[in-house]
Each structure stands twice: as structure tokens, then as C-alpha cells.
Amino acid sequence: MASAMAKQAPKIVSKTSAGGSGAAGAAGGPPIMPLASPLMGKKKKPFLGMPAPLGYVPGLGRGATGFTTRSDIGPARDANDPVDDRHAPPGKRTVGDQMKKNQDDDDEDLNDTNYDEFNGYAGSLFSSGPYEKDDEEADAIYAALDKRMDERRKERRELREKEEIEKYRMERPKIQQQFSDLKRKLAEVSEEEWLSIPEVGDARNKRQRNPRYEKLTPVPDSFFSKHLQTGENHTTVDPLQGLGGLNTPYPGSMTPGLMTPGTGELDMRKIGQARNTLMDMRLSQVSDSVSGQTVVDPKGYLTDLNSMIPTHGGDISDIKKARLLLKSVRETNPHHPPAWIASARLEEVTGKLQVARNLIMKGTEMCPKSEDVWLEAARLQPGDTAKAVVAQAVRHLPQSVRIYIRAAELETDIRAKKRVLRKALENVSKSVRLWKTAVELEEPEDARIMLSRAVECCPTSVELWLALARLETYENARRVLNKARENIPTDRHIWITAAKLEEANGNTQMVDKIIDRAITSLHANGVEINREQWIQDAEECDKAGSVATCQAVIRAVIGIAIEEEDRKHTWMEDAESCVAHGALECARAIYAHALQVFPSKKSVWLRAAYFEKNHGTRESLEALLQRAVAHCPKAEVLWLMGAKSKWLAEDVPAARSILALAFQANPNSEEIWLAAVKLESENNEYERARRLLAKARSSAPTARVFMKSVKLEWVLGNIEAAQELCTEALKHYEDFPKLWMMRGQIEEQCENMDKAREAYNQGLKKCPHSVALWLLLSRLEERVGQLTRARAILEKARLKNPQSPELWLESVRLEFRAGLKNIANTLMAKALQECPNSGILWAEAVFLEARPQRKTKSVDALKKCEHDPHVLLAVAKLFWSERKITKAREWFLRTVKIEPDLGDAWALFYKFELQHGTEEQQEEVRKRCENAEPRHGELWCAESKHVLNWQKKTGEILAQVATKIKNTF
């Protein structure tokens, strides 16, 4: 704009001057000379005739402004005129669109949403200004600073990014990683199992299964040659076009170059021969001139590639820098061994093995006394050359043990190895490592001779002494160990080996003396007795079968460095640790010592009894329990364990005698009374059981005694006697809910629904917080068809017992059984709001969802209740329903491990194994369930507490519950 104004200023002046001269010329007179002026004699201004400075606007100081004519900017264009670009996109096809776009580009978005407190606006505030040289210099400086700062933090950032990527891969593994365990397990699949896998059915329709492929038939050469000749006539124009039609520019009869010269036909056979010749030429170009084998061979090709590509992860520029740096280190300090080793390894990883060998050999010349350089040279060199290198190393370093070991490793013949090691022992006779390596190659007799010499050369090596003692006879071994003890009075292993030696030869009475003498001797020599190390030694003795030595060590060190008040707690932890490590005799010795120190502690006797029950024999358990009840006669559980052990061994008289002794020690014990009743009733001695219960009601009346009395009469079919006993019991114990439940269930069994309802209602008045009573009443109303009343009862129960997941679960199932799935889902949502950590609700919620949503729901359930057995069981059932057998079995195992008392889990697991497992797996589940003796679970209790199943064993109930389970999920 300024330059345009500068150009216009002289135009204005020239127009006025031209006008003046024109007038004078018109008059025809001589030219008018300018009048003399006082300014004429002054010097001409220096800026006249020079170009205007940049940005200068003439007359701007006095308010004048320049103007632009149409000739400066070209002809005017309308906004709707098309642009010059014929292929412009839809939004840029008119002049107006282009102007609007340019205006939008110039206008910056300075809205508040585009502003950041730290970075400012997203765009550049000065992007509309001119980009000058100082801007370019500033940008270059800032770019250099950014690059420098980026290099400073590069390693840390790359490390952090690598950790983030690894963490991301762990959280979100690839599909390939998720199935890696399954791929590994494919290696275990036998051929029979592979062949027995059923074929996957084809779900496509008939048209997709049998597509009609396009049939292609090879065309003979004669067809092409025939049509090439007939194509010459197709060069005329349709006569319908008239005389004004276009003549073809290429008449077929005169088309040059489209036919083979001189023949007029195309020879396909010659083309095929030429193609074969060309292929032979290409194959000969890539063939090896020496061996004649082509490089296209895939094995050789890949081998060549592996030799060419570096096997490291660095960049080429990094290698060059490292090579330059190591060269500088070698030149500045040529006697520095690590520089030569690092240089050789750099060349090795980049594939330049010969350069590495040359470097390391030069390193051996510069550092002939460096053991590491010689070993690296021997590693890099091939077999025979490596032997020569090692021989040269031995001349420079005749006392180096590692070089001798490397020399022995390079030999392939056993005799050569022995010769090298014996030569080494002549030079380095004090090396324990050399002696051990040499002895390992010898036969037992020669090894004994060598060890006798070895202990003379290395009298402080415990391993050599012990190895010699193992190879000697009993008497010689005792002498060897005595010598070892004299030479090394501070090592405990010699004493423990002596004790094991005596035990192995039947002198068990000497074992305790040796261990006690060991403790005394080590104390006298200033050795601190480390209790944990000695217990570990005892565990090793236990695993080696030296039981007496193991027990002697435990007795000697179990009380060392322990405060008196911490003894019991520490010893129990030690025993559990030994059991976890498989050292059962150590644990038994710890329990025996603890029982000697704390003979009246019931908890210690109980732990010892449970240990014998799980890991010992029945005889050892009964012997322990006899001692236990002698020291703790008031401990009812110990009497009951003894009686049960006798009963399981089918020795009922002995069990009765134990319970009789228990009665004498605990005359009014409810547990012992009930145990005696159970013993008699299980052995079909019903009259004796009745008499015992009658005596118990008179001497030790409790609610449980009355309940067992009612239960006995009920299961034996004496309904009237049971009702009378129940009425009598409720007079004394009206706040005991189980009596009300039994009364109502007896009436239900007799089809007296009104009396049953009355019994439940009376019970709820006395026991409003008994959830089981509310559930029984609700199910009674549902059974008689009073759905609305059942719903009202459950709602009232939830008001009386807030945050009760069992009541919420029953409400949800009530609606589901009635077919009202929407209401059931709504109730479940409310239930999870009130009881967000209830496992039984989450387990039910998983299977309320449709199949596609169950997996997501199970993930939510595991987040809320990670270790709840009901949720784990629901996940196992989910995998079972999806036919993921291995995963389902893993989750079933996890469930029964977390909660072995849940009978439903065992029943479902057993049902699963019946369908998908082997007989061994089914038997294992059944045995584990019998050992666990589960007592809880909705399905389990419904069968185990049924009056018809009162005498059935755990295994029978397991099979019965499993048969009633249906795969409704």
C-alpha cells in the first residue's frame, strides 16, 4: 500500500505540470522562463530522485492519504464469479468462498475456551505479522534449547515410557498373550485326545457352503492367432453414421508394429521359450559360483541374513560413538583390561567376530597379567586356537584357578581333563575349587585318595572334609570328622554330620550328646548360635531321613534367643513353617517341646492334635489325646476328638468309655451329652439315646438338648412325642427360634398349614430378628398360592432386619419364580445399593443378566467381593456354562480352598466333574469333601437337614445334592 502511494505521488505532480505546459503551447508563444527566485541559488536536496524508504506514505504528516487505481489491482470480480481452478473442492469454487476462507484464516480464535493458563492461546498471537530474520534466529535458538533439554531427559523419559508400555501390556495384554498358556498346554495333548476333538459344524447356509465358483479354462494359442488375423477387418465405421462419419486413424491393414514383421502371426511357443530363458538367466545370477547352491535356499538365505544383521538393540550411530569412545580409552590407557574386553564384545555383538578376536589378542599383549582378558580371548577363539590361548595364559599366570578350569572345560576327553586338573593342582594346591572339580571326575576309590590329600592341602575347607567322611567307612569317618573338628572348630555342619553318622549306624543315644556338645563347643569358640540356620539344618536332616538328629537339633536350639513371653507364639509359628516346608518331624519335635513347657495350655494341645489328625496316624493322634485329657481334663473338645477318633475306627465301646470319663471330668457339659447321644443314635441305639437325652434334660437342661430331643423323636417318626417335647421346650425357651421352626415344619409335614402359619407367627413375635423364620413363613404363603402375602411378609421382614442380604435374595427369587423378571431386576438393584458387599446377591445378579452381559457383571462382582466364595462359585458356573472346562475347574478349586465349609460349592464341583472329569478327579473331589465335612450352603442344608437323610454320610449327601442340581444357568 505504501509503495503504491509512493508511486502515485509523482503522478499527481506530473499531471499539474503537464497541464501548465500544455496551455503555454496552445498560445503559440515562446516558452515561459521561470522567474528568478531567492531559492534558485540553493543546493539541491539529497533525497530528491531517490526511492522512498520502506513504509513511507507521502503527505501522511499533513493528513493526506494515498489511493489505489483499478490498474494497480486488476479488474473487479463479483463474489459469485468462479475461481480459476476448475477442479476446486465444493467449498472453494467461487471468489466469495476464497475470500471468506482467507478471512477465516486471518482471524484468530481468541476465545476463553482456547486459552490455557500455562501455554496461553493455542495459536500464535503474532502469526499475522511478518516473519523477519530476527524471528528466524530466535526460533533457531529456542529449537536448540529444546533439543538440548530433550537430550538431558531422554534416558529418563525413555525408561519411563518403557515402564508405562510394560505396565499397559500387563493390564491389557494382546490376544496372543492371553492365549499363550493355552498354546503351551497344547504340547501336553496326546494324539488320541487330538483326534477325539469333535469337528466344528458348518453353520452357513447351502449357498455359502457350496459356492458356484467361476470356471476358468485355459485358451489355446490357435485361438489367439485366429482372432489376431480376423481383427484386421474390424476397421470400418458404422454406415449409419453417414458420409460425415469419422474415418478410423489406424486402418487395420496398415497398422505398423502391431504384428510380428514378416510373419503376420504371433508365435506363443517362442514366447514361452523366451520366458524360460529369462528365468534361467535370473536364477544363474543369484547362484553361488563356488558351490552351485542358490542363495534362494531358505535356510542358507536366513543364515546369511542373520550374519549380516546386528543382533543388538542399539542404533548404528550409537555403535559408532561407542567404538570411537572405546578406541579413545584404549589409546589413552592401553593397559586397562576392561577397555579391551568391552571393545571385543562390541564388535562381537555387531557381527564382526574376526575384528573382536584381533582386538582381544592385542589386549592380551598389552595386559598379559589380566585373567579376564585371557578368559575373554579363550571364549572368542575357536576350539584349538582357544587351547593355544589358554596355554599361553598359563605361562603368564601360572597361579590362576579360573584359567585352569577353563582349560579343563576346553578338553573333550575325560583323561585330558584329569591331566589338566592334576597339572593345575601341582601349581595351585590350595584351591578348593580345583580339588572339587578334580574329585568329581574320579571314581569313588580314587576320589577318596584325592580327598585325603585335599584335606591336607586345604584343612579349612568343610566341604572337602565332609565329602571325605561320606566316602570312608564308619570308623574312618569318625576319625576324619574328629580331625575336621580340630582344624575347623567354628563350623556347625561337621557336628551335624557326626550326629547323622552316629544315627545311621544305630547309635541314636549319642546324637543328643553330640548336638549338645556342638552347642557348647561353638559357644566356647565365640560362634553365635543362629536359631533360624539351625532349624533349616534340622529341616534338611528331616528330608534326608535323619529323624533323631533333626529332633535333637530342634530340642537344642528351639529356646535360644527368645523372650519368655514370646515362646508359645514363636514356637507355634516355627511349627507351621516346618509343616509348610514339608518337615513334619521337625514340627512334631517343636510341638513335643512346647507341650513339655506348657502342659496345661489347651491351645497347644489342640494345635498338636490337629497336626496329628492331618499328618499323623490314628494311633499317634489317640496317644496324644490321652496325654492331652490327662493334663487338660476340662477341655471338652479334646475328649470329643478322642471319642470321634475311636468311633471312626468303629471302636464304639472305646468311644463310650472315653465319653464316660469325660462325664466324670465335666458332669454337666452340654457338648459331651450331645456327643454321647449322637454316638448312640448313629449306631442305632435309639433307646439308649432317649435315656441319655432324658437324663440330660433333667440334669443339664438347655435349649440345644431339648432341640436334639425333638429332632430324635421327629426323625424316628414319633410326631406326637416330638410335638409334646416341642411344646414343653417352648415353655422354657420361647426365644430360641429353632424350636419354633421345628414346630412349624412338623405341622407342614402333617399338612396343617394353618397351625404351621400360627407357629411361625408366634415365633416371629418372640424372635423378630430371626431371618430363617421369616423365610419359612414367606415360603409357606408362596406354597399355598398367597403370593401377595408372601411379598408383604418379606417387605415387613426387611423393615425389621435392614441390610439383610438373605431377605433381599428371597424377595428377588420370589418375583423371578412368579415370572416378573423386570420387578426382580429392580429389586436386585435396590438390594445391591443397600448391601453392596454381599456375595450371595452379586452371585445371583450375575445369572439374572442376559448371557452377553454376565461376564461384565461377574467382573463387577469380583471387584466388590474379591474373596467371597459365592462370587467365586458364580464365576466357576459362568465358565462352566461357556464350556471353558479348565478355567471352570480352576475357579471351583479356588472356591473350595477359600471356603471348604460351603457344601454347595462341593456339590457343584462334584456335578461338574461327573460331566467333564475322569473317575480319579471325581473320587478326589468326593474324598476332599468328606474330609472337609461341610455344614453350610442352601442346597446342602436342604438335603442334609431333611428328616429322611439324618443318618446319611457326607459322601451320600454330596451325591444326592449333585443329582438334584440342574444346569439351569
- In the 3-class helix/strand/coil scheme, how is 264-284 assigned residue by residue? CCCCHHHHHHHHHHHHHHHHH
CB distance 554 to 583 below 8 Å: no
Pick from 354, 363, 311: nearest CA to 333: 363
Residue whose entry in the numeric block shows the C-alpha cell 445334592: 961
Domain residue ranges of the chain, discontinuous segments joined by +: 316-457
Residue whose entry in the numeric block shows the C-alpha cell 492331652: 628
Show the cell assigned to 410: 576346553
Measured CA to CA, the distance from residue 52 to residue 5 in angstroms comes to 10
Residue whose entry in the numeric block shows the C-alpha cell 421345628: 742
Task: List beta partners, residue 121.
Answer: 115
pTM: 0.54
* Residues contacting 956, CB < 8 A, separation 6+: 949
Phi, psi of 218 (to 5 degrees): -65, 140
Element (H, E) at 115: strand 115-116
The type of residue at 278 is L
- Identify the three-state secondary structure at position 899: coil
Q: In Å, what is the CA distance from 395 to each residue of 9, 334, 374, 377, 425?
A: 101, 21, 11, 15, 15
What pLDDT does 304 receive? Answer: 44
Measured CA to CA, the distance from residue 755 to residue 749 in angstroms comes to 11
Chunked into runs of 10 residues, the chain (969 residues) has average pLDDT values of: 41 37 39 44 67 74 65 61 66 67 55 64 62 85 87 83 85 78 81 80 70 68 68 47 42 41 54 72 54 45 43 65 88 90 90 90 91 91 87 89 89 87 86 86 84 85 83 85 86 89 86 89 88 91 90 90 88 92 92 91 90 88 87 86 83 83 81 84 84 83 87 88 89 90 90 91 92 93 92 93 93 92 93 93 93 91 91 94 92 94 94 92 93 91 88 90 80
The type of residue at 938 is E
Rounded to whole angstroms, the maximal C-alpha distance in the chain is 168
Query: How many Cα neighbours within 13 Å face the side chain of 446?
Result: 10
What pLDDT does 124 receive? Answer: 58
Residue whose entry in the numeric block shows the C-alpha cell 423364620: 773
Residue whose entry in the numeric block shows the C-alpha cell 420361647: 734
What pLDDT does 807 receive? Answer: 94
Measured CA to CA, the distance from residue 116 to residue 584 in angstroms comes to 69
Task: List beta partners, residue 294.
Answer: 287
Measured CA to CA, the distance from residue 420 to residue 429 in angstroms comes to 13
Q: In Å, what is the CA distance from 653 to each residue of 643, 644, 647?
A: 10, 12, 9
CATH topology of domain 316-457: 1.25.40
What pLDDT does 860 receive? Answer: 92
